[in-house]
Amino acid sequence: MVCQRCRGLLVCETFDDLSIETDTLYNATRCINCGYIEDAVMRANRCRSSEQMRATPRRRARTGDVERIKIPSEAYVSIR
């Protein structure tokens, strides 16, 4: 198998679930080059069709009224 991030070699490994409620082992793949770990849930989410994805975008948090400050173009010269 080939890593999606770096095209490195993926190996199958068994990992411990560190949750207190469950004491289970799960299988995942790990890239030898970059260390990327991918489990079955991540693969399933990648394979989902776009129809099954979120239909409505998430709401943005409202930050309140923002006062805009106009900066003269001469001020940009000192930034460069």
Q: Within 13 Å, how many C-alpha atoms sit on residue 36's CB side? A: 16
Lowest pLDDT segment from 21-30, 43-52, 59-68: 59-68
Distance (Å, whole) CA 79 – CA 4: 39
Selected residue with higher pLDDT from 6 and 73: 6
Q: Within 13 Å, how many C-alpha atoms sit on residue 25's CB side? A: 5
- 28 neighbors 13 (Cβ within 8 angstroms): yes
Say what the pTM is: 0.52
Kindly list the domain boundaries of the chain, sorted by start residue. 1-49
Mean pLDDT of 8-27: 82
